[in-house]
A and B are shown apart, each in its own frame.
Chain A
Amino acid sequence: MTREVTFSKAVNEAIAEEMRRDKSVFLMGEDVAEAGTPFKVLSGLVEEFGTDRVLDTPISEPGFMGIAIGAAMTGSRPIVDLMFGDFLYLVMDQLCNQAAKTHYMSGGKLNVPLVLRTNLGATRRSGAQHSQSLHALVAHIPGLQVALPSSAFAAKGLLKTAVRNDNPVVIFEDKLMYQEKGPVPEGEYQIPFGEAEILREGEHVTLVGTSSMVQVCGEAAEILDDDGISAEVIDPRTIVPLDEQTILDSVKKTSRAVVVDEGHRNFGVTAEIASRISEKAFYYLDAPVIRLGAMDVPVPFSPALEDLTVPTPESVADMARRICHGEHVHGA
């Protein structure tokens, strides 16, 4: 039985179900209890689980991140709420020097089973410090796994998988998507990490989109349809691990790829995926692999400027169309 629920509700359900299932799971972060976070994603959880398992913290991101790691190393399974993805910079030492390396540095004897939930996405008119998409930063660090749900269904399924993973997992939710509804089954389900989803099959070009850009790629594919260009849309769902094979198989079929991600383009997720395509499907490529990401500027406040910084269905369709027509793009 599948209902339509919001992305936000899907996250909430995943946490509630996991906390009911496993007493070692608890929630911590700023304003996670009665406030239920500014996005109201966690509303109602403190009523069910109490303040013993839904811990409001001071505004001390490095501190509660460190505490979560220690708790995870000693038998708890914390879910940490980092209010904005932009605050990742505050927790980088704990996340990258501690959580990511503990299992390795201990020769496999210590585990850090924690989930760090945070968000990404611009165009909320929130300015440069509340609009970033910083998942590439985390994906760069060995020892961390990174999930990027693009729908209510994925949000719930990936989060449940993350909670049961014995490693630190960072989940980035698209904060613009919280109120969007999507089909979510009633019963128990998980989405395995490292399995991409093919949202739409196509022949002429592969559009690889992550998180917020999955919808954008879907809409771009509709636009391309009108031009007689058939686009395949792939959502990797996790970037660490990355389901390379599904992407490569698609590109080998279509010979063209546009990779779209809301992180900055420079040295980002799109660069990684594009380079893997270039390395591993080189002789199948009939056009340069195109990367589309957030413009390499701090996210501006003014709507007139902010909207320029993020890939749109039109910009994705335009690049796809150009490579399908054999245009000499970027002087390649």
Chain B
Amino acid sequence: MAHEVLMPALGMAQDSGVIVAWHKSVGDHVKAGELLMEVETDKAVMEVEAQTDGYLSEIFSGEGEDVPVGQAIAVIALTQDTPASGRPSAPQPAPVITPETGTAPADRPATASPPAARTEKPAGYRILASPKARSLAAERGLDLSRLVASGHPQPYHVADLDLLTDMEATTRVGAATATRASAPALALQNLFSWLETEIEQVPGAVLAAFAAASYRAAAEIGIVTVLVREPTRSTAVFVDPDRSGLAALVPTDTSSAPDLVLNDLTSERGTEFRPGEGSVPEFSVAFEGDRVVATLAATTVSLDDDQRFACLDDFVGRLDEPLRHLL
């Protein structure tokens, strides 16, 4: 039995998607949850995962093609030698979900981000792991490629399997999916300079405020606790940072679990995004060239696809025009 891969509806008012890149070739084995391709909508480049295990037996739409939502673009067969089905099925009426918070400014340029680090698998890619880690993983049904996808550095040893076990546990309630988007960086960089020189506020505090606001809107939540991680500082926790004045934004001493994690990577140019695998949504923000790039990783338990997209969309909008949102 073969499984048709359809051009997905990615949560926006979207008629079609452009295939940016295939990460699998015809004949490749794919696993459910493995990165299959990247699709560009009018807003962002989304990474699309395979929904089933099997072999990619046919690709109907190549890179650069604009394909209507719901149309078959590839086939995943159960076995390697399943004959090709010959022709793509006609577009099916697919439920196109318009996000309730779809209020993104129309003038914002669409962002076509480069593929994230985890997509850069060379051909013949092999996971570096100790024989014991490998055999224990096989014995316990753990998938080492998930560690690769998480950006956890190789080679893997037995100790790394604990992390993988946690990740697999998360998978059972819904794997974290990372979505990324970008905006021009200039306004945000100007703001950061001003913060530093005028009120001695750290960028992470402002980013935490933006993230809290975007998350509050998407998830309709009362109190938002944000854990901020920044490579050169110790972690800080802010409670409802979007409800404080900019100057009054100070970390809180709380032991309560965060609702959000914010990785402030803006001090490290060129830092790769390493979406976390925690159970709470995780924003990461970094500068890439003259753009600011944001990633939101979240499980479907904490944010469904629509919410995640809306949340990131809102967040990137704030990064694009920070002063407008602060004032």
Which residues of A are at the interface with B, using a C-beta cutoff of 8 A?
255, 282-287, 326, 328, 332
Contacts and interface: CB of A to CB of B under 8 A. Distances in A.
Nearest to A282: B131
A284 B131 contact: yes
Contacts of B128: 328
A255 B155 contact: no
Contact of B158 (A255, A282, A328): A255
Interface string B154-165: 110111100000
5 contacts: A255-B130, A284-B132, A285-B132, A286-B158, A328-B154
Given A255-B130, A287-B130, 6 more contacts: A284-B132, A285-B130, A285-B132, A286-B133, A326-B157, A332-B155
Contact of A328 (B132, B133, B155): B155
Contacts of A283: 131-132, 134-135
Nearest to B139: A283
A287 B133 CA distance: 9
Interface string B97-114: 000000000000000000
A interface: dominant SS: loop
Contacts of A332: 155
Contacts of B131: 282-286
B155 A326 contact: yes
A319 to B, nearest CB: 15
Contacts, number: 29
A287 B129 CA distance: 9
A326 B132 contact: no
Contacts of A282: 131
Interface string B117-129: 0000000000010
A286 B133 CA distance: 6
Contacts of B130: 255, 285-287
B135 A326 contact: no
A326 B161 CA distance: 13
A282 B154 CA distance: 19
A332 B156 CA distance: 12
A132 to B, nearest CB: 35
A161 to B, nearest CB: 36
A251 to B, nearest CB: 10
Contacts of A255: 130, 132, 158
Contact of B159 (A285, A326, A328): A326
A283 B132 CA distance: 5
B238 to A, nearest CB: 34
A131 B134 CA distance: 43
Nearest to A285: B131
B138 to A, nearest CB: 10
Most buried by A among B128, B154, B157, B160: B157
Contacts of B135: 283
Contacts of A286: 130-133, 157-158
A177 B170 CA distance: 58
Interface in B141-177: 154-155, 157-160
Contacts of B155: 326, 328, 332
A295 B23 CA distance: 47
A285 B156 CA distance: 12
A328 B134 CA distance: 16
Pairs A-B, 6 closest by C-beta atoms: A286-B132, A326-B157, A286-B130, A283-B135, A285-B131, A286-B158
Contacts of B157: 286-287, 326
Contacts of B132: 255, 283-286
A39 to B, nearest CB: 45
B168 to A, nearest CB: 20
Contacts of A287: 130, 157
Most buried by A among B128, B131, B134, B158: B131
A326 B160 CA distance: 9
B32 to A, nearest CB: 27
Nearest to B157: A326
Nearest to A283: B135
Interface in B43-93: none
B154 to A, nearest CB: 8
